[in-house]
């Protein structure tokens, strides 16, 4: 208790946490705001399958991006530790490696995406109208895939240098452009579902231009030279690729859960998958807001580990954890009281509203259950402890999948109960891994440099 009291009373740590978290919360909230605007714009078109097409198409696209989320996470951890060592050359190496991986993976994933979407839609067995619109939306979105992956690397690198303003500029620029273009293309030009996809593609490429422009000033603040011959050596890629491999497996397992959630919801009908999408937008708002605090944990804890500063590591984690709990309580209260308004704002389709209102209690519980996994993810990413993150995620998936299978007889209720159990198991598994590392005094053993 005295350690907690010491951390919470340390005003400079609160300032450091919020100096990073506040801009990231603002920029992160623009991401689900795009989904909300897309749902709201398309949700006021006449047919449920139009809203469902955007929901399913976005899920397939975000599945691809989510699997490659290691581009941001891995880059953040290594950049944070390089900044902690005041190694400007290593920072440049991490940036180039991140952008190089983004380019190569975009090419590979683009070749696999079209057959993947066909297989996924076959599993979902959607209606003919939903199938056609989903394919159109998804294929257009693929044009923005290289830009989206480059943005992952850029945002991760800036976060590692404890520069939250650049990610704010990238994400706000990208997502505000997306919102403005979606309104224009869908409502003004009457391009329908395809208009929402085109808006997203243009916005993603604009974000890359903003990020690349901002790297010049950031590099001036971290002087150093890149060792070009070192980039050709395998040993200088191995740590980044090893961490990214483990985060890839972890992300693949996470996206599998969301994919199965969409598959099962689609089998329950167009109205159900559309209603679940509206509810999951609430989870997106919560996750991206709480991720702002998790990003602060990544940067501050990674920096502390790079500098081997145990006191700062403990204070940063406890202060960010306290604020994360407070924020999750606020979100739970908001969805419990204002959930009906949240749903009605997104769609005026009576059937979709009715289904969504029925399952609102699950959304109100989610912030309190999920907050712990977000916070601990930040700690493990900053420490570049990807293997432990991977193992914790696999345990959560392996335990929750049989539960989901067994609860199918409850329909959509079973789906949401299994999802809540999965989110709880994520936090518990990560907590056990964190306790083991602390018991063995192993947090600093994983620092690369």
109-132 per-position pLDDT tens digit:
888 887 877 777 777 767 777 778
- Residue 60 CA to residue 62 CA, distance in Å, equals 6
Domain ranges for the chain, please list them: 2-446
At residue 332, the pLDDT reads: 94
- CA 226 to chain centroid: 30
- Residue 292 CA to residue 6 CA, distance in Å, equals 23
Q: Which two tokens stand for residue 415?
A: 């789906």
Residue 6 has pLDDT above 60, yes or no: yes
196: nearest Cα among 51, 362, 88, 392: 51
At residue 34, the pLDDT reads: 63
Do 369 and 420 touch, CB atoms closer than 8 A?
yes
Q: Which of 11-15, 117-121, 260-264 has the highest mean pLDDT?
A: 11-15
At residue 35, the pLDDT reads: 61
Using the 8-state DSSP alphabet, how is residue 319 labeled? H
Residue in the block written with tokens 């099962």: 264
Residue 139 has pLDDT above 80, yes or no: yes
Distances 408 to 269, 285, 356, 402 between C-alpha atoms, Å: 15, 27, 18, 10
187/361: higher pLDDT = 361
At residue 138, the pLDDT reads: 85
Q: Tally the C-alpha atoms within 13 A of residue 177's C-alpha that lie toward its C-beta.
A: 20
Mean pLDDT computed over every residue of the chain: 82
Percent of the chain with pLDDT over 90: 16
At residue 93, the pLDDT reads: 80
Q: In which band, very low, low, confident or very high, does the pLDDT at 449 lie, cut at 50, 70 and 90?
A: very low
Residue in the block written with tokens 């079973």: 414
At residue 159, the pLDDT reads: 81
- Residue 107 CA to residue 282 CA, distance in Å, equals 32
At residue 39, the pLDDT reads: 67
| Segments in 44-164 forming alpha helices (H) | 48-67, 70-84, 88-124, 128-141, 145-160
77-91 per-position pLDDT tens digit:
778 777 777 777 778
Q: Which of 23-27, 382-386, 390-394, 406-410 has the highest mean pLDDT?
A: 390-394
Task: Determine which of 28-37, 149-158, 217-226, 348-357 has the lowest per-residue pLDDT on average.
Answer: 28-37
Residue 68 has pLDDT above 60, yes or no: yes
- CA 375 to chain centroid: 13
- Residue 154 CA to residue 150 CA, distance in Å, equals 6
- Residue 36 CA to residue 279 CA, distance in Å, equals 10
- Residue 219 CA to residue 192 CA, distance in Å, equals 42
Do 69 and 98 touch, CB atoms closer than 8 A?
no
Do 23 and 167 touch, CB atoms closer than 8 A?
yes
Mean pLDDT of 240-249: 74
Task: Determine which of 8-22, 193-207, 236-250, 251-265 has the lowest per-residue pLDDT on average.
Answer: 236-250
Task: Determine which of 188-197, 202-211, 224-233, 345-354 has the lowest per-residue pLDDT on average.
Answer: 224-233
- Residue 90 CA to residue 227 CA, distance in Å, equals 8
At residue 45, the pLDDT reads: 66
25/366: higher pLDDT = 366
At residue 426, the pLDDT reads: 93
Q: In which band, very low, low, confident or very high, does the pLDDT at 71 lie, cut at 50, 70 and 90?
A: confident
Rg, C-alpha atoms of the chain: 21
- Residue 278 CA to residue 338 CA, distance in Å, equals 14
Distance in Å from the first CA to the final CA of the chain: 34
At residue 230, the pLDDT reads: 64
Mean pLDDT of 274-284: 84
- Residue 370 CA to residue 374 CA, distance in Å, equals 7
């Amino acid at each position: 208790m005295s350690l907690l009291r010491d951390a919470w009373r340390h005003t400079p740590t609160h300032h450091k946490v919020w100096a990073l978290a506040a801009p990231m919360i603002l920029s992160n909230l623009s991401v689900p705001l795009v989904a909300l605007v897309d749902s709201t714009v398309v949700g006021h078109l006449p047919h449920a399958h139009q809203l469902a097409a955007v929901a399913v198409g976005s899920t397939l696209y975000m599945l691809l991006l989510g699997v490659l989320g290691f581009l941001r996470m891995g880059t953040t951890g290594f950049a944070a530790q390089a900044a902690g060592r005041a190694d400007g050359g290593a920072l440049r190496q991490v940036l180039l490696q991140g952008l190089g991986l983004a380019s190569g993976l975009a090419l590979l994933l683009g070749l696999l995406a079209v057959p993947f979407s066909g297989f996924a839609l076959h599993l979902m067995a959607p209606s003919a109208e939903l199938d056609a619109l989903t394919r159109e939306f998804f294929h257009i979105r693929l044009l923005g895939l290289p830009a989206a992956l480059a943005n992952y690397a850029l945002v991760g690198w800036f976060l590692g240098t404890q520069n939250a303003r650049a990610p704010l500029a990238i994400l706000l620029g990208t997502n505000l452009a997306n919102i403005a273009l979606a309104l224009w293309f869908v409502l003004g030009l009457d391009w329908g579902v395809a208009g929402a996809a085109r808006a997203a593609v243009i916005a993603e490429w604009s974000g890359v231009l903003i990020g690349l422009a901002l790297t010049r000033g950031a590099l001036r603040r971290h002087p150093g030279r890149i060792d070009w011959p070192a980039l050709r050596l395998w040993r200088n890629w191995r740590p980044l690729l090893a961490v990214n491999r483990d985060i890839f497996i972890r992300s693949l397992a996470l996206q599998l859960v969301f994919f199965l959630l969409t598959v099962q919801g689609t089998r329950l009908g167009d109205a159900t998958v559309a209603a679940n999408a509206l509810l999951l937008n609430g989870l997106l708002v919560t996750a991206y807001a709480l991720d702002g605090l998790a990003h602060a944990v990544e940067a501050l804890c990674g920096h502390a580990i790079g500098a081997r500063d145990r006191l700062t590591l403990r204070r940063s984690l406890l202060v960010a954890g306290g604020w994360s709990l407070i924020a999750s309580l606020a979100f739970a209260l908001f969805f419990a009281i204002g959930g009906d308004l949240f749903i009605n704002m997104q769609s005026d389709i009576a059937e979709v509203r009715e289904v969504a209102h029925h399952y609102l209690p699950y959304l109100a519980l989610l912030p309190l259950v999920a907050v712990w996994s977000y916070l601990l993810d930040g700690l493990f990413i900053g420490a570049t402890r990807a293997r432990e993150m991977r193992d914790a995620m696999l345990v959560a998936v392996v335990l929750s999948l049989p539960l989901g299978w067994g609860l199918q007889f409850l329909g959509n209720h079973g789906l949401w109960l299994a999802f809540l159990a999965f989110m709880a198991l994520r936090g518990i598994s990560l907590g056990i891994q964190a306790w083991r590392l602390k018991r063995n005094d192993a947090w600093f053993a994983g620092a690369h440099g």
